[in-house]
Amino acid sequence: MSTIVGEESRPQSDIDLGRYDTNPPGCGLLELIREDLATHEGDWLSEGFLALAVHRFGNWRMSIRTKLLRAPLTVLYCVLEKMIQSLCGIDLPYTVRVGRRVRIWHRGGITISAMRIGDDTHLRQNITMGVRRRGDHRWLKPTIGNRCDIGAGAVIVGGITVGDDSVIGANVVVAEDVPPGSIVTVPKPVIRPRQQDAR
């Protein structure tokens, strides 16, 4: 069943963005982190797991509604987020709604400025998600469905939806909706013998 719909994942207003704990419901912080660790094959030093753990913590702290009590956790979150960005090369703001069992493979050049990442989706190195043009409204960011596989170097921009069970090939630029169950690739490279005089 498809559960990812762009509109549904949007906050009600600009003010709502980042104001609430948007970790997947029905799962406590420790349970979520344990599940993320299992998704990353128990490798607690893997950059993807660390980025997700900080992301989960960043959301969880928003469940503490008293600003004064939350303040020290917010300071800690900001420091950890910067460390993840600098040391792991992964930019994953807590405002992105990340589903369960999401895996981030490898490290570096990863900017996940999306509205939502669905359950069981895999993301790889050097992917970029965000707005399509400078000055676009910050809601105009992609929604990625469940069980998607995003190849290395993919760029996904705009307020689009990548449907469930889709594969985005390496180095593809996606700027329009992708129907569920699609595979998106760039034109195949041409492989031919070198000319004799070029050797």
Ligand X SMILES: CC(C)(COP(=O)(O)OP(=O)(O)OC[C@H]1O[C@@H](n2cnc3c(N)ncnc32)[C@H](O)[C@@H]1OP(=O)(O)O)[C@@H](O)C(=O)NCCC(=O)NCCS
**Please, which residues have CB within 8 angstroms of residue 163's CB and are 6 or more apart in sequence?**
2, 4, 145, 177, 178, 179, 180, 181, 182
DSSP H helical ranges for the chain: 29-39, 47-60, 67-83
Site for ligand X in 76-135 (CB under 6 A): 106, 124
Q: Which is nearer to ligand X, 106 or 132 (CB)?
A: 106
Residues paired with residue 178 on neighbouring β-strands, in sequence order? 162
CA distances from residue 102 to 98, 146, 156 in whole angstroms, order as listed: 7, 9, 17
> 168-171: which pairs have CB atoms within 8 A and are 24 or more residues apart?
170/124
| φ and ψ at residue 172, rounded to 5 degrees | -90, 145
Q: Which is nearer to ligand X, 56 or 103 (CB)?
A: 103
Q: Of residues 58, 151, 159, 163, which one binds ligand X by CB under 6 A?
A: 151
Q: Which is nearer to ligand X, 27 or 170 (CB)?
A: 170
3-state secondary structure of 177: coil
Q: Of residues 17, 131, 140, 152, which one binds ligand X by CB under 6 A?
A: 152
Among 89, 90, 70, smallest CA distance to 18 is for 70
Least distance (Å) between residue 181 CB and ligand X: 13
Q: Which is nearer to ligand X, 123 or 157 (CB)?
A: 123
Q: Which is nearer to ligand X, 30 or 183 (CB)?
A: 183
Binding of ligand X by 6 (CB under 6 A): no
Interface stretch with ligand X, choices 39-47, 59-67, 92-100, 163-171 (CB under 6 A): 163-171
Least distance (Å) between residue 170 CB and ligand X: 4
Least distance (Å) between residue 105 CB and ligand X: 6
Q: Which is nearer to ligand X, 68 or 191 (CB)?
A: 191
Go through the chain and tell me how many residues it has: 199
| Contact flags string 175-194 toward ligand X, x per CB under 6 A | --------x-xx-x------
Tokens 């699609």 appear where?
Answer: 182
Q: Which residues bind ligand X (CB under 6 A)?
A: 106, 124, 151-152, 167, 169-170, 183, 185-186, 188
